[in-house]
Structure formats: C-alpha cells, structure tokens
Structure 1
Amino acid sequence: MKNFVLLVAVFLSCSIAGAQNLKEPDFIGEAFILKSDSTSLPLEKETVKIKTKAGASVYIVGIGKVKSKIEVDGCCSNTRTATNKSLDIVVRSVDNQTDPLSIISLFRFDNNRKVRKAELSSTGTFSGGSNNNLDYIMFQGRKFGESSYIITVPEIEDGEYGIIVRNPNSLDEKSTIVSTFGIGN
C-alpha cells in the first residue's frame, strides 16, 4: 500500500511539473502552436495593410465591385508546421471570460509570390455590400491559464493562415497585428 501511495505521489508531481513548463504568451494577441511533445512554436507577428481596390469597370462604366483586403508582405510565414490531423494553438487574450469564437479569428490567406491577402469586405453596384468575408476556419476553444485559450482545429489543410485577436473591452483598436503560420512545405 505504501508503494502504491508513493507511486501515485511521484506520478502526480511529474505531471504537475510538466504542466507548469508551458506558460501563456507574454502579450495580448500573441500565439504559439502547441506541439505533440508539449513544446511550443511561437507564431510570427505581422502588421497588416488594408487596401481597397475597385475593378476597372467601376471607373469605365460605373458598374462593378470594390473590395477591401488585408495584406501581409511575403509569400509565406517563416513559422511552419507539418500537416496534422488536428492543431492546437494557444492564444493570449485580455481575459478568458468571453467565448473565443467571438474575439479570435482564424482564417486562411490567398497567397502569391509577394503577398498574402484576405478579403474583408466587398461592395458591388447591383449586388450590395458584404462584410466579414474572411475565409474563417472553425475551431473549438477552451480556457488556458489566466488570460489565454487553447483553440483546437480538428482538420487543417496545407496553406497560409492568420490569427487576429480583438479586444472586446476597448473601442480604441490599435494597428491590426496578425499572427501567421503555414501548414506544409
């Protein structure tokens, strides 16, 4: 019986010690990929440009679409991970009392050799306007630490991705920072 109690105590102390190695990101909006060996891979942080462009037909005949997109320089993120069946990402927020789906946006970029782009909104002469056009990736979230979430993406394809964390307590948003990463080569 003493050996059993000792074995349980050793097991619990080892599991608690291992769990304490993983800390929350330092700042709001920072994120890291939680790897299978319980180590972390910090995501690259990028400042975005918001660009609005109209199609040529808008200028020529007054009919067409105007699109607003966020752009990040470079074809791909330096933070890469292999294709996984599922992916866990730790994201720091103001607190973790809000539903993570309402403040964390995980989306896919369209990319080419120079920039990564994601459409925010579009307005057409006859089609009206639409907002929130990002190619969102659904995830499940759970609390982690004092102010963070672990978001789990069950399946994710190869490509370039970004995460934006909004501050629900602040009306004065600063410049938009996107945490970026890539899946696959």
Structure 2
Amino acid sequence: MKKLLLSFLFLGLMGISNAQDVAEPEFIGECLLIKNDQAAVPLEKQLAQNRTVASTGLILSGIGKVRSQLQIDGFTSSTKVGAADDVKIIIRNIDNMTDPMSIIKIFKFEVKKKYRRAELASISSFGSGKSNNLDYILFSGKKFGTSSYILKLSNPLSPGEYGITISNPNALDEKQTVVSSFSVE
C-alpha cells in the first residue's frame, strides 16, 4: 500500500514539474516568445513615440485627414519567427485576473526605411473621426503561472512587423508607451 501511494505521489509531482517548462517572465510587462522547440526568447522592447501627421491635402487645400500614430525606431525587430510557426507569447502582468483581451493589444506595423508605425486614430476636415485604427491580431489567452498569461496568436500570421502593448488597469498614470515587437519572416 505504501509503495502504491508513493508511486502515485511521485507521478503526480512529475506531472506538476512538466506542466510548466518555461518560467514566468521576471518583470511586469515583459514578454517572452515561445518558439516551436519550447525555447523562450524575450521580445525586443522600445519606448514608443506618439506623433500627429496632417495629410498634404489638408495643408494645401484644407481638405484631408489628421492622423495620430505610434512609432518605434528601426525597420525590423531583432526577434524573429517563421510564418509557419505556432506563435505563443507569455506576458507577465500584475495579476492574471483580468481578461487579457481588455489589456493586451497585438497589432501589425506599417514598415518604413528607418521606423515602424501604426495608426491609432484619424479625423477628417469634415469632422468625421475614427479611433482604434490599429490592425489588430486575434489571440486566445489563458492564465500562466501566478501572474502571467500565455497567448496563442491566430495562424498563419502574414510576414511583417508586429507590436504588443500592455495596459495596466491598476495604474492611474501611464505616461510612456512600451512596445514589445517581433518579426514574422
């Protein structure tokens, strides 16, 4: 009886230890890309610049749009993943009690020679405005560890540059936007 009980206890401990091969990220807001071989790679992080741009038509004739954009330096991310890869990302937060869809935004950048941009909002000279213009990527999320989420991105992702922003529902004042980024080749 003792041997049987010890065998079950041993098997149970082995199952718990194998359930989470990758450790949670160390800091709140940190993102790890889980590659197909289960290796965890930290995503590149940059401080974003917010900019407002008026169209040429608006400047010349008074008819056009003003766009609010999020911009980060560099035309590509140092963190790469293949288009056929199953993309999973672990994101640490203060806790994992909030629906990840409400605080995590994954979007595609427009690539230029020296930077990557994403449009946040636009307003035309006729007064019609549109906000939340990011090219969002769908994902499903689950709790991971004590205060993280593991996200599975919709497949297949088209080649390009992608960014992740995390809102902190517990913070009253967020002055600087941090963007974690990766490239799909």
Secondary structure at the aligned position of 1:57 is classed as helix
Q: Is the 8 A contact 1:33 1:41 kept in 2?
A: yes
Q: Is the 8 A contact 2:47 2:72 kept in 1?
A: yes
Give the structure-2-normalised TM-score.
0.89
Superposed displacement of residue 170, structure 1: 1.5
Superposed displacement of residue 84, structure 1: 2.8
Secondary structure at the aligned position of 1:59 is classed as helix
The 2-side partners of 1:16 and 1:146 are apart by 14
Secondary structure at the aligned position of 1:23 is classed as coil
The 2-side partners of 1:130 and 1:140 are apart by 26
The 2-side partners of 1:84 and 1:48 are apart by 29
Number of residue equivalences: 184
Matched, 1:179 2:160: no
Aligned-residue CA RMSD (Å): 2.2
In structure 2, what is the equivalent of residue 95 of structure 1?
A: 95
Superposed displacement of residue 14, structure 1: 3.9
Give the structure-1-normalised TM-score.
0.89
Superposed displacement of residue 26, structure 1: 1.5
Structure 2 CA distance for partners of 1:23 and 1:181, relative to 1, 3 Å? same
* Matches for 1:32-181 after TM superposition, within 5 Å: 32-126=32-126, 128-155=128-155, 156-181=157-182
Q: Is the 8 A contact 1:85 1:154 kept in 2?
A: no
The 2-side partners of 1:176 and 1:141 are apart by 22
User: Structure 1: 5+ residue runs without aligned partners?
Assistant: none
Percent identity over paired residues: 44
Secondary structure at the aligned position of 1:106 is classed as strand
Q: Is the 8 A contact 2:35 2:85 kept in 1?
A: no
Superposed displacement of residue 107, structure 1: 0.4
The 2-side partners of 1:174 and 1:23 are apart by 29
